[in-house]
């Protein structure tokens, strides 16, 4: 896939890190900069992908095998990319996505223990050369994250996993950030809300300067 005109931002993190709140901060920042954007999520983003999301999150009598879970995630992603993400980027819009393939490496790879090579192979097959331009990883200890998630209401299939599962997921995210420092930025989500917002805005000003300039010149 050729480099598109739009800019692709993903937001990552375990349960309870405040992705929705920080996405709102991010999109307000983009609006103030005059950027045309869309917000989407994974799994999901299209009608079919949202149905797959329901399968992944629902608690049922028949448990989903780890490989089935992985393949369902990428089935939803394939639909999402072709029907929403690629067209938006190619039209010049910025895309803000609540989780993407880093979540698969963290949850199915780190959390479930699936072979990273299998995930990488599926990533290449489904995404071709498409990768996020910027990934914001909201970092929080699992205990605090799950406490926050529990306060939101009933827990889905992933949210009911044990604390050790989320510890592995968190570490996987931190490993990804360490391996790809040019793309990934870690934001401490344990701070008070206003402090997290300030850190996020400062980072956006530093990271997006060139991209914003190019967008405004089009």
First to last CA, the chain: 21
Helix (H, G, I), strand (E, B) or coil at 168: helix
80 phi and psi, to 5 degrees?
Answer: -60, -45
How does residue 3 score in pLDDT terms, banded at 50, 70 and 90?
Answer: very low
Tell me: is residue 28 an annotated ligand-binding position: no
Helix (H, G, I), strand (E, B) or coil at 158: coil
- Give the count of beta carbons closer than 10 Å to the beta carbon of residue 115: 12
Tell me: is residue 109 an annotated ligand-binding position: no
Tokens of 95: 């895309």
Q: Which residues does residue 184 pair with via DSSP β-bridges, in sequence order?
A: 135
Domains of the chain, with CATH numbers? 8-217 (3.40.50.300)
Q: What is the mean pLDDT of the chain?
A: 93
Q: Is the pLDDT of residue 2 over 70?
A: no
Residues in CB range of 121: below 8 A, 6 or more apart: none
Q: What's the chain's length in residues?
A: 218
Tell me: is residue 16 an annotated ligand-binding position: yes
What is the predicted pLDDT for the residue at 95? 98
Higher-pLDDT residue of 78 and 3 is 78
Rounded CA gap, 77 and 71, in Å? 10
Tell me: is residue 23 an annotated ligand-binding position: no
Average pLDDT over residues 177-195: 97
Tell me: is residue 83 an annotated ligand-binding position: no
pTM for this predicted structure? 0.93
H helices present in the chain, as ranges: 19-32, 47-57, 66-80, 86-90, 101-104, 116-127, 142-152, 163-179, 193-207, 209-217
pLDDT tens sequence across 86-138 = 999 999 999 999 999 999 999 999 999 999 999 999 999 999 999 999 999 99
Tell me: is residue 14 an annotated ligand-binding position: yes
Average pLDDT over residues 5-9: 94
């Amino acid at each position: 896939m050729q480099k598109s005109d739009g800019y692709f931002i993903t937001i990552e993190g375990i349960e309870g890190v405040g992705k929705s709140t920080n996405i709102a901060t991010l999109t307000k920042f983009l609006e103030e900069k005059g950027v045309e954007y869309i917000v989407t999520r994974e799994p999901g983003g299209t009608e079919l992908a949202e149905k797959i999301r329901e399968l992944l999150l629902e608690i049922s009598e028949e448990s989903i095998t780890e490989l089935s879970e992985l393949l369902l995630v990428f089935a939803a992603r394939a639909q999402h990319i072709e029907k929403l993400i690629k067209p938006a980027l190619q039209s010049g819009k910025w895309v803000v996505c609540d989780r993407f393939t880093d979540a698969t490496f963290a949850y199915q790879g780190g959390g479930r223990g699936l072979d990273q090579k299998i995930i990488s192979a599926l990533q290449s097959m489904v995404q071709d050369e498409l990768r996020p331009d910027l990934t914001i990883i909201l970092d929080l200890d699992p205990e605090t994250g799950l406490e926050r998630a529990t306060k939101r209401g009933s827990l889905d299939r992933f949210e009911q996993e044990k604390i050790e599962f989320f510890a592995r997921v968190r570490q996987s995210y931190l490993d990804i950030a360490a391996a790809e420092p040019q793309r990934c930025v870690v934001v401490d989500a344990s701070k008070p809300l206003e402090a997290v917002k300030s850190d996020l805005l400062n980072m956006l000003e530093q990271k997006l300067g060139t991209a914003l300039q190019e967008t405004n010149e089009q």
